[in-house]
Structure 1
Amino acid sequence: MARATIISLARSPELAELLQHQFSCKTFDEVYDWAQRTADSIIESASRTENPAGRNWDGRLRVLCPLCGDGPQSPYDDGFLLDEGLRRHLLGTYNSRQCSVFRAAHEMALDRAARAVGR
């Protein structure tokens, strides 16, 4: 129930609805595919933002996470670098702090897949 509440706190109702698609995952491969597709959709949505957090020294766009509203922990950057910085935040890869909203949906999907395979 707590994870569902966290998902409902996403800053965008459209993106919160996108996270709900994890309910269809029944295997760990499906969870992996869902996470990748969902991250791609969130990044695409963020690339159309009207309020970017700024630009990198080379002109690349930086954005705050469209789910949780966080930015990187670095005091030098105002937002995550599109695409890879935001992808790392969403998926929690490369030792980055994972988005709490995405993590809640991902953990729900993993739990469902574990129950489906009988673990």
Structure 2
Amino acid sequence: MKTNTREMSPSAYARFAGVLYLIITVAAIFAHMVIPEQFIVPGDAAATAVNIAANETTFRLGTVGSELIVLLSEIVLAVVLYVLLKPVNKTLSLVAAVSRLAMTTIHGLNLLNYYFVFQLLNGSS
């Protein structure tokens, strides 16, 4: 019985990691600069809250959606970098992957702040 395994080359992993970094960069810029600029009124928290409440779907899809893209890309990137760097030093590669996954865990918990914003704006307790 012949099994067909297809290994990716290190250069393919490196290219994939580069694409993931580009996705993370574009999504993060969108989530932290482009979308908030439409909602935030400097020095006026009430106006900012009104803007977010009036355009909740846009805020959710733009900011939270972009953050989720960043989060998922970071998880995949941690695995890709581990596989790419494992032949160089397995221990350091594992430490780097675990550190990156810990960072994404904290990032995921940080996304709960958006949930609390919607709870406050909707008057839920």
Q: Name the TM-score class by shorter chain.
A: 0.3 to 0.5
| TM-score for the superposition, normalised by structure 2 | 0.32
| TM-score for the superposition, normalised by structure 1 | 0.34
Tell which structure's C-alpha radius of gyration is larger.
Answer: 2
Structure with larger RCO (C-alpha < 8 A, sep 6+): 1
Q: Which structure has more strand as a fraction of its residues?
A: 1
